[in-house]
Structure 1
């Protein structure tokens, strides 16, 4: 480069930086879409709606929840992965996506590389529930029923490759009782069939089940996390019921497509964490049985990396695979 070209090059760099900064400062200039990869009625939908109303107010633009269910939450994830990385299309991701990485042999995206984490929103315990009419009153009697039943007892999940699917597989293996897996597109249709007796049990997250447990229509036998839920303090853990070291729960968090400007990620993180730390949001989490988190993009990325490796080992041992 000639010496005389330096000022021109510097001017071009400065112009590009100024344009990028101006674009970041102008964001958001239009509505934002938060994609929920499950149908309405589940934990991800409830958490998304708890976040979007205050987020719309803080950003000064509507934040719209859009459901894109299918294939164990991978359809919605793929949609967001391929969206323009401008901060206007976000994903309500979950631990399910770290599992799908190993369960599905061919995914059109890489969960660790295709997304920019923003913040984990909440942790929700999973609960082993049966219809209130079931003869199983605790985990021990459920296992005995499963072993003695002429037909396999069935358990529903939010889809192949979800944490509920994997919990069911682990439970079946440890109990020594083969169960029939029935995948659904989300919690709402699963809960409907559970209430109607079309499926025998589920290991779904607490949020969509809580009202039915309180109403006496479903019976909670155990939570799958290491400690008891503060919402259901009288319900034992699976570990307490004899399933040693059993510890599975579901986290939900917000992500953007990879290459989204860091200024936008930082702004979203700041606003979302502020909402999560608010008394109003925490009260809402208590109502739906969730534990608020609110962490940094770096910490969320580390969690995704840890869970991807952990579930890869569990899935290999369980020999779970989907084309």
Structure 2
């Protein structure tokens, strides 16, 4: 599939993205002199996980486009706070970038009374991938569809144990959102990582889990867990027979994990453009596209750095309204 086909298939403000040879043309002198040394992408999660793997694939593609090494530096912490703070304090020269996720730019500002960084101190380059959140269940749970899950949950006044991958994460918000939307009781069970959460889900120690599409589909096919529904716009990467929440009568239940690159605010615009164009070249590789799709990632490119910024603002407003309705708040750091 060509990169233009990928762009045409993307949603929510990314439809019809066009970039052509003109975007890959000449640059001002400053841009022509960049880069002259390795670039570092700061990843807010531990090595070996899906976000880390995604970042390394993009880094390899951009390295080929730019002709310099791109190093992935993992700085995991709750909510990506450490990684975001580090990048906002980095030199504004384009050599230190943030692998940005929705938690950092769209939900943390509404969850925390105080943050060690300001989103305004990060400038967008482009989104490059999206995957939908899914709701997985224990194989022992007597429900296979959204309707069956709701019906079963209403017979359990003590509530269902709902696993999340950490307090304040989007998985935590989604679990609280579903409980409110379905008018059911749940007990939120935070985990430090996906592995232990999946182990407890497969053994029946917890009933449900907000999960990323890649691990969810792998475990579903292995019979370790089962997917109730996808929170994506469509059935992208879903096993046969698994519907979206929208198809199940809940069109508002849309939640995706978005991935992009950001730089410290103040980074020269010509440098931002060089990085954007390198992302475009990387995403134009059929090999990278195939790798991403095999991991359950939907490749896409923002129409421009400004378009990515607009999308971030829209998502920030959307998640902010949801968090306020749920009365969620994380204690000051």
Match of 2:305?
Answer: 297
- Asked if structure 2 preserves the Cα contact closer than 8 Å seen for 1:143 and 1:177, the reply is yes
For 1:162 and 1:59, the matched residues in 2 are separated by 33
For 2:75 and 2:267, the matched residues in 1 are separated by 21
| Count of paired positions | 302
For 1:41 and 1:148, the matched residues in 2 are separated by 39
For 1:121 and 1:189, the matched residues in 2 are separated by 29
Normalization by structure 2: what TM-score?
A: 0.83
1:155 to 155, 159, 162: 162
Instruction: Return the offset for 1:317.
Output: 0.9
For 1:189 and 1:88, the matched residues in 2 are separated by 35
Match of 1:106?
Answer: 114
Instruction: Return the offset for 1:275.
Output: 1.1
For 1:231 and 1:124, the matched residues in 2 are separated by 11
- Asked if structure 1 preserves the Cα contact closer than 8 Å seen for 2:108 and 2:168, the reply is yes
Moved more, 162-171 or 130-139: 130-139
1:311 to 302, 311, 319: 319
Instruction: Return the offset for 1:243.
Output: 2.9
Match of 1:208?
Answer: 215
Cα gap change, 1:297/1:317 in structure 2, threshold over 3 Å: closer, same or farther? same
Instruction: Return the offset for 1:142.
Output: 2.6
Deviations 1:175-231 (Å, cap 9, x if unpaired)?
A: 211212233344445434434544322122202323222222221110012322244
| Largest Rg, 1 or 2 | 1
Moved more, 116-125 or 177-186: 177-186
1:239 to 236, 246, 249: 246
Which blocks of at least 5 consecutive residues in structure 2 are unaligned? 1-27
Cα gap change, 1:62/1:42 in structure 2, threshold over 3 Å: closer, same or farther? same
Cα gap change, 1:79/1:158 in structure 2, threshold over 3 Å: closer, same or farther? farther
- Asked if structure 2 preserves the Cα contact closer than 8 Å seen for 1:38 and 1:185, the reply is no
Deviations 1:12-41 (Å, cap 9, x if unpaired)?
A: xxxxxxxxx766433323322211112234
Moved more, 157-166 or 246-255: 157-166
1:182 to 189, 201, 209: 189
2:285 to 278, 294, 305: 278
Cα gap change, 1:61/1:184 in structure 2, threshold over 3 Å: closer, same or farther? farther
For 1:186 and 1:35, the matched residues in 2 are separated by 19
- Asked if structure 2 preserves the Cα contact closer than 8 Å seen for 1:101 and 1:107, the reply is yes
Normalization by structure 1: what TM-score?
A: 0.86
Cα gap change, 1:254/1:190 in structure 2, threshold over 3 Å: closer, same or farther? farther
Match of 2:103?
Answer: 96
Cα gap change, 1:266/1:196 in structure 2, threshold over 3 Å: closer, same or farther? farther
The 3-state SS of whatever aligns with 1:148 is coil
For 1:273 and 1:189, the matched residues in 2 are separated by 36
